[in-house]
Structure 1
Amino acid sequence: MASSSSQAPISKPGHRLVALRWKLMETPKIDVVLSGQPRPRSWASKFQYALHVAVGTGKANDFVTKLVKGMSPEDLEIANQSKVTALTIAAAIGNTDAAKLLVSINPNLPHIQDGDEGFPVHRAAQSGHKETLVYLLKVTRDDVQPSPFENNSGVWLLRQIIFVGFYVRSSAFRSSSELTLCQRFLYSLCGAVRQKLHRALWDLIDSLVPQVKHIRQMKFMHGEALRLVKLLCTEAERLDPQKAANIFADPLFQAVSHGIPEIIENILVSFPIAVQFRDNDGRNIIERAVLYRRHNVFNLIYRMNRQTKHALAEDLDRFQTNILHLAGILAPQDQLNLVSSAALQMQRELQWFKEVEKLVPSIYRDARNYEGKTPRMVFTDKHKELVKEGEKWMKDTANSCSVVAALIATVVFAAAITVPGGTNGDSGFPVFSSEKAFVIFAVSDALSLFSSTAAILMFLSILTARYAGDNFLQALPKRLIMGLLTLLISITTMMIAFSATLYLVFGNDETWILTSVAASACLLVILFVYLQFSLLVDMFSSIYGHGIFGQRSEEPLC
């Protein structure tokens, strides 16, 4: 016989058994057995074990459907040799269809523990099966004892939900930073609109736009994670401080590491002393947020009272390192990757350092750590490679763009000398000087020449700049913005001048020629904007936007 567990419930003999069952289904005998007619009691254990095996394959749900017809709801509660029910196996392998079938027959199955005192919802979270986990969270009640949402069981479940990445940030939460504008809009609609639409219509929308289903599941997971926190907080109010600390410490620091301020807020509101918790390195939640570059958690400090804020900012870890030293350490790679280029990554790092510098006393700015280094020395040492990468990126970009700007300047300068249609031999004036299209050509050609020359100068200033660390904060990005904008203007006006020339020479007052030429010119300009738009937006928002730091709510914390 095959053995099964929540981790690996199926073995080779089990597969052979299911294959045999499938073969038997082709004969009338198996139809009699699975028809729901009374059967000998001695067959019960064999059929229950066959159910575990069939569910565990994940591919025999038709057979599972026929098998459960001949079983009572109580039969589904019996565990196999590894002390797991069929629902636990379905949760462990992500067999959502089988889980729905089993729960529809026996709604008590989600509340049955396995041999390790875990629930099916735990196994789905542990194995990373998101769809199955979402379903089990919906059908697992929190008013049934024992509950998977209380005590260490609830802490473990919350930690798994955070750890395996189910809690993805989105716009209804203040920790939104990774969803696109369209995804944020869908997220905001899911809660309100869902109640107004018939379920069948939602199913149709999900099938047509899979992204909607993903967003809805995401929002549900957020609500479930917060529900777990609130249940833990409610329970902690009845415990002594030491037991409550044991419950909250791990989820609190996991939430900090993954950038989930909503969980931290709920814990601090119900258990204010949690703000004093320290991790294994002796760091508080704000120090940990700085180290992991979680700005949405760091911003919670602006909602704390002055005494708490100063205590957190002036704290030292077990290495006698202050929070400004931590800001000088290079950010984790996953946080750096959120920014589009090495130059803007360096800018983001400088913004972090400057923001933390505002919070600490002036004496901390020159304090030395266990290596004898000040925060500025740590920052310079840890970011040497990033500065080199940022310098290379800026120079490569400036080089490429300056070549384009120089070509444009050459072309439009030549066009200004050899005007379309030539000049009148007697007067020396251009032949088309009286045409409106010629005036458009002259103005756009001049603008293209001036803007391309300005772009060359801006990119030249980038190539000759002094690449000190602080220059990445404002000076270099501003020059690049001006260079790209003037280059865009030069390309646009060059295409206008070119279109006006074609119309003058070949147009003969034909509207379709003007329309086709204008459409082609617009297409090229749009292409340039499309290719460079994200970079321009990132640079504009990093310099002229609201920034990532600041108080996001008026509600006070501890």
Structure 2
Amino acid sequence: MTRDHVQIPIDPDDANWRGRCNRRMKELKNKQFPSDDAASSGLMHKELIGEKNVMIPELYKGVEKEKVDEFVDVLEQVCVQRKLALCDVFDQVTRAGDSMLHMAVRLGKEKIVELISRHFPKLLIRRNVRGDTPLHVAVRFKHCGIVKLILSQYGTEKAKHDGMKDITREKNEHGDTPLHEAVNSKDFGVVKVIFDADKDVVHCLNKSKRSPLFLAVVNGNKDILNLLLKIPFPADKRLPQHFGNSPLHAAILERNPDLIEEILKERPELVYLRDEHGGTPLHYAAYVGYDEGFHILLQNSKSDQTALEGNKKGHLPIHLACKKGHIKVVKKFLQHEWPIKLHLLLNQKGQNLLHVAAKNGRSNVVQYLLKNPKINDVTINQTDNDGNTPLHLASMNLFPRVVYFMTGDKRTKVDLLNNKGLRAQDIVRLAGKNQRSIRQFLANLVFKEAGVPLKVNDVLYSHHQPSPKPEMSLKDLLNTFLVVATLMVTVTFAAAFTVPGGVYGSDDPDPEKRGMAVLAHKPFFWVFTTFNVIAMYSSVIACGLMLMAMIFDRKLATRVTILAMLCLVIAFLTVPVAFMAAVRLVVANDSALALLITIIGGLYTFLILLALLSGFFPVGIGLKIPLLRHAGRLVLWILITKLIDYDDKPQKEDKTRMVN
């Protein structure tokens, strides 16, 4: 120990540690330490590499000491050995930017915290790399006693100096105040200490735009929530239009019905609190599809007016439910008795709930609404500000399933014109300028199946005439099918001379059997021969018709192509049956295998039939033959309602789709 170090004897029975340690700290603060060359050069080196204030290891160990006197001993040793003033020692921080006060708080060293904060009060607002003050750290680690100590010490310093900010309003890099941290810690005692020190911070938003009140709901602590709910929103300002400060919005987000009822019990007026989009909790419940929360809010509202208020875009809660396709919320809404007709519930564009559902392709909602007795023909055929009915809007966005359900309802008037003089079918017809999309193709078929005649304005259609490229598509189609038909002729022709089981040879003893089929007496040979012949002649006819179509004009060629395609469909259906019969013949001795072949053949023949009808059903719908027409309708129903899902809006980058 050097001469400059004055050791104060410690009496183990002396309980007055404050007086003793404060006296030693004052002496250390007033003591001057002359620098030597070695120390100076070392500090210069650290300063050059940017580590002048990096905390030395001895200080880490000093903060960890159990007794405060031992901590002061370490400070004395560091000051003497390093030739550093005490203020320079406390200026050092860890790599994370923590001061010794941060470290003492984290470790729960209450006496050391009291000693440091008294002699170096500026450390109370020192921040680490995360922007945390010692108070942030104290509440995060639930040190209630240290929280009280820091608040008391800072209050004393604030009384001495004017203009100091409230330490409870200090925010870290996440924008969290100490109360945010306290709520996240879920420690009621710590929350109450901070709350009693500054009640208005309850409504302070962090960078995530969430207040401590909002976080209390998210964390699900009812005691903390009830404490924070006692603070009213500022009386001199409008209710904050922000999602992150509405406890009901938070309870809906967490889908916690108990908290929703708890909040409504304590503060029923919060049902009117709006978010940044002007939406009430009812709007938010409808938007996220939380039907149970929507029902609770609806039942606890003092009047129906809350559910009939619009947000900034004029959308009612029911509009948002229809837009997002939340059918359970829609059912809850329609089960309620409203003092106003449904067709009068309009947004700023003059659109009712069916408009909104059809516009966004929510086929499940559209189907439910059409079946609901509260939806009348006025709602179904109502026009918006642009003169569009729900069917117009579904056609604009090419939603074939919505169009299918709406045209299938006899109350829908398909001939209504919008402000541009267009019907819904005209809009679909004009949707593709150069190429047709599958969506447009299906929507056109739906209108055709519904028996809607095409009466598009010739002047308007002339501006949307397809380019010459589609004129070549018929020729390309004919060439493709001609190749397929030719291959089918070749296969069936060859099969006729390579019959299953072979033929009797020329050296057979019975002259009448020579060259005859060995299995000609079998029933399945009749099946094979019959279906192979049908496939052969159907393919030949298809080839001939396609060759003729190439020399006709477009109108006649289209009709001939339809007949050729019908012949190909027959060929594609008969070839699999002929193949199954041939295989069945050669394995007839094994009954189990023969049965398996028959089952597999029947199953795949049905699948082929379904696939061919799916491709041919547009023709079937247009023909007057009842059987084919009904088959076409059946396939259309399967495709629209079961297989193809086009409930999303067409992408703008897809050139084959209509840009909305």
Instruction: Determine if the TM-score, normalized by the shorter chain, exceeds 0.5.
Output: yes
* Candidates 571, 594, 598, aligned match of 1:514: 594
- Aligned counterpart, 1:75: 229
* Residue 408 (str. 1) matches residue 568 (str. 2): no
Q: CA deviation at 1:96?
A: 3.8
Query: How far apart, in 1, do the equivalents of 2:200 and 2:452 lie?
Result: 66
* Counterpart check, 1:41 vs 2:196: yes
Residue number in structure 2 paired with 1:13: 174
The corresponding residue for 2:331 is: 223
- Alignment match of 1:337 (pick from 434, 438, 458): 438
Alignment match, 1:492: 577
The answer to whether the aligner puts 1:535 opposite 2:618 as a matched pair is no
Per the TM alignment, residue 330 of structure 1 is displaced from its structure 2 partner at its CA by: 2.1
Instruction: Report the counterpart of residue 545 of structure 2 in structure 1.
Output: 461
**Counterparts of 1:11 and 1:487 in 2: how far apart (Å)?**
73
| 2:452 paired with 1:355 | yes
> Deviations along 1:73-122, whole A, 9 cap, x unmatched?
87189669955466847858x97435445315324487232266531232
Which residue pairs with 2:502 in the alignment?
Answer: 419
Measured in 2, the distance between the counterparts of 1:124 and 1:380 equals: 45
Counterpart AA for 1:398: F
Residue in 2 aligned with 1:240? Answer: none
1:278–1:284 Cα contact (<8 Å) kept: yes
- Code of the aligned partner of 1:426: P
Residues 159 and 523 (structure 1 numbering): CA distance in 2 closer, same or farther, change over 3 Å? Answer: closer
> Given the superposition, is the C-alpha separation of residues 537 and 42 from structure 1 closer, same or farther in structure 2, using an over 3 Å criterion?
farther
Displacement after TM superposition at 1:456 (Å): 4.4
Amino acid at match of 2:532: S
What TM-score do the two structures reach when normalised by structure 2?
Answer: 0.49
> Would the alpha carbon gap of residues 459 and 56 (structure 1) be closer, same or farther in structure 2, given more than 3 Å must change?
farther
Shift of 1:51: 11
- The equivalent position to 2:350 in structure 1, one of 249, 261, 274, is 249
Measured against aligned partners, the alpha-carbon deviations of 1:155-180 in whole angstroms (never above 9, x if no partner) come to 533333344xx33xxxxxxxxxxxxx
Aligned-partner residue type, residue 150 of structure 1: L
Q: Equivalent residue for 1:149?
A: 307
Matches within 5 A, 1:46-125: 64-65=219-220, 67-72=221-226, 75=229, 82-84=240-242, 88=246, 91=249, 96-97=253-254, 99-100=256-257, 102-107=259-264, 108=268, 111-114=271-274, 117-123=278-284
The aligned residue for residue 214 of structure 1 is none
Deviation string 1:403-456 (CA, Å, 9 cap, x unpaired) is 552343133122249835656623241699686864422441342132233034
How far apart, in 1, do the equivalents of 2:296 and 2:523 lie?
73
2:341 to 216, 230, 233: 233
Moved more, 114-123 or 14-23: 14-23
Within 5 A, what are the aligned runs for 1:307-346? 313=415, 321=421, 323=423, 326=426, 329-331=429-431, 337-338=438-439
Following superposition of structure 1 onto structure 2, how do residues 241-390 of structure 1 map, counting pairs within 5 Å?
249-251=350-352, 253-254=355-356, 257=359, 260=366, 277=383, 279-280=385-386, 294=403, 296-297=405-406, 303=411, 313=415, 321=421, 323=423, 326=426, 329-331=429-431, 337-338=438-439, 355-356=452-453, 373-374=458-459, 378=461, 382=465, 387-388=470-471
My pick for the range that moved more, 82-91 or 15-24, is 15-24
The 2-side partners of 1:134 and 1:291 are apart by: 30
CA RMSD for the aligned pairs?
5.8
Which residue does 2:318 correspond to in 1? 158
1:331/1:349 contact within 8 Å kept: no
Cα deviation for residue 514 of structure 1 reads: 3.0
Instruction: Please tell me whether the aligned partners of residues 308 and 317 of structure 2 are also in contact (alpha carbons under 8 angstroms).
Output: no
Alpha carbons of structure 1 residues 18 and 479: separation in structure 2 relative to 1, 3 Å? farther
Matched residue SS, 2:306: coil
Q: Is this contact kept in 2: 1:458–1:482, CA < 8 A?
A: yes
C-alpha spacing 1:522/1:389, structure 2 compared with 1 (3 Å): farther
TM-score (norm 1): 0.56
Counterpart of 2:545, as a letter, is S
- The CA deviation at 1:233 is 1.2
Mean Cα deviation higher: 45-54 or 398-407: 45-54
1:457-515 alpha-carbon deviations (Å, 9 max, x no partner): 2365356535847986x875565344223312122112212331x23xxx6x3434434
For the 8 Å contact 1:444–1:494, the answer to whether it is kept is yes
Partner of 1:239: none
Moved more, 139-148 or 384-393: 384-393
Which stretch of structure 1 is more off in the superposition, 78-87 or 482-491?
78-87
Conserved 8 A contact 2:525-2:582:
yes
For 1:379 and 1:41, how far apart are their aligned partners in 2?
A: 75
The alpha-carbon distance between structure 1 residues 482 and 296, as it changes in their structure 2 partners (threshold 3 A), is: same
1:269 Cα deviation after fit: 7.3
Q: Distance in 2 between matches of 1:498 and 1:537?
A: 31
Contact 2:532 2:574 survives alignment (8 Å) = yes
Partner letter of residue 298 of structure 2? R
- Equivalent residue number for residue 42 of structure 2: none
Q: Cα distance, 1:265 vs. partner? A: 9.9
Bigger CA radius of gyration: 2
| Partner secondary structure for residue 578 of structure 2 | helix
Is contact 1:445-1:493 (8 Å) kept?
A: yes
Query: Quick one: structure 1 residues 32 and 254, their matched pair in 2 at CA, closer, same or farther if it must change by over 3 Å?
Result: closer
1:487 and 1:396 map into 2 onto residues whose CA distance is 18
For residues 245 and 556 of structure 2, the distance between their equivalents in structure 1, rounded to whole angstroms, comes to 58
Q: 1-side partners of 2:249 and 2:472: how far apart?
A: 46
Q: Displacement, 1:141?
A: 0.9
The change in CA–CA distance for 1:246 and 1:514 in structure 2 (over 3 A counts) is: closer
Distance 1:246 1:106, change over 3 A: closer
Q: Secondary structure at the match of 2:452?
A: helix
Structure 1 alignment gaps of length 5 or more = 3-9, 168-217, 237-243, 358-364, 550-558
Please state whether the residue corresponding to 2:579 is helix, strand or coil.
helix
Say whether the 8 Å CA contact 2:369–2:375 is kept in structure 1.
no
Q: How many residues align?
A: 436
User: Aligned residue for 1:555?
Assistant: none
Identity %: 9
Change (3 A) 1:23 1:389: farther
Match of 2:532 in 1: 448
Q: Per the alignment, do residues 110 and 461 of structure 1 end up closer, same or farther by CA in structure 2, a change over 3 Å counting?
A: farther
